[in-house]
Amino acid sequence: MDVMNFFESIFRWLHVVFGILWIGLLYFFNWVNAQFEGTLDGDTKKRVIPELRPRALFWFRWGAAFTWITGVLLLLLVYYHGRAVFPVDGGWSVGAIIMIILVFVSPFIYDPLVNSLMKELPAAFIGGLVLALVLLFLFEYLGGFGVRGFAIHLGATFGTIMAFNVWFRIWPAQQKIITAIKEGQAPDGALVALAGLRSRHNTYMSVPLVFLMLSQHSVAWASNPITLTIVVAAGWGLVYHIYDRAAKVKGF
């Protein structure tokens, strides 16, 4: 048995399983639970939310953690050790190392941008598309990445930011929100807004992220930065439509 192929298959399997757990709960929170909780009165919220949210958030945050960890292991094994990040005639350079570092420090660039320039959805939409296009060109021309390399590294950037949001913005805020509701107090509005905003950002990033993962295997037409940026825009448009539809779905 080829040891590398064995580990690649195990990591890929776990990556998909944990990703389903994480993203499935992300969609539940945004497209189902948010609308459901809005129908509850104060006493019911006090009973239901402290029981429901901590359980769901446990699987949510650990799904995020292990999706990210197995994704990094796949990057190391397939793209760096296996050199799939480069075209046939490519190789390691200072630019490639800089771009890889940029992926893993991206949350510390995203965070202040969101807190200052990209608080509103239209600004985040336009700014996000511009940054995605710039990143793709940098991955290709500064990093020397091939199409598989620059597509998966935009996906890795989204995934790293999303995992950061879960562990360092959404979960800490939700702990305080849930505690306040359990004690019969109104939660801090700033914390509610923070958790909601970062959860929505994760939802928007998740749809193009799935395409960027799948495009590694079969999508030949999405082979340049411009077409991939169009895919990101289309994914965000789909998410916007689903949010609109989710608000109109009613219980019996």
Residues 208-242: tens digit of each pLDDT:
999 999 887 666 777 899 999 999 999 999 999 99
- From 26, 118, 13, select the one nearest 70 (Cα to Cα): 13
What digits encode the pLDDT tens for the residues 105-132? 999 999 999 999 888 888 999 999 999 9
Comparison of pLDDT for 121 and 197, the residue scoring more: 197
Q: Which tokens in the block code for residue 241? A: 């439509």
pLDDT at 215: 80
Structure pTM?
0.96
The alpha-carbon radius of gyration of the chain (Å, integer) is: 19
Asked if the structure places residue 252 within a domain, the reply is no
Show the tokens assigned to 31. Answer: 């497209």
Largest interatomic CA distance in the chain: 65
pLDDT digit string, tens, across residues 142-170: 999 999 999 999 999 999 999 999 999 99
| Percent of the chain topping pLDDT 90 | 88
The answer to the question of residue 186 being in a domain is yes
Tokens at residue 191, please?
A: 């914390």
The domain of 15 spans: 3-246
Q: Report yes or no on 148 lying in a domain.
A: yes
Report yes or no on 184 lying in a domain.
yes
Tokens in use for 140? 């290709």
Is 179 domain-assigned? Answer: yes
Residue 209: how many other CB atoms lie within 10 Å: 24
pLDDT (average), residues 3-32: 96
pLDDT, mean of residues 94-102: 97
Q: Has residue 1 got a pLDDT over 80? A: no
Number of domains observed in the structure of the chain: 1
Decide if 124 is inside a domain.
Answer: yes
Q: Does residue 135 sit within a domain?
A: yes
Q: Is the dihedral of CA 195, 165, 242, 53 positive or negative?
A: negative
Q: Would 251 be classed as within a structural domain?
A: no
Question: Cα(56)–Cα(79) distance, rounded to whole angstroms?
Answer: 33
Q: How far apart are CA 19 and CA 22, in angstroms?
A: 5
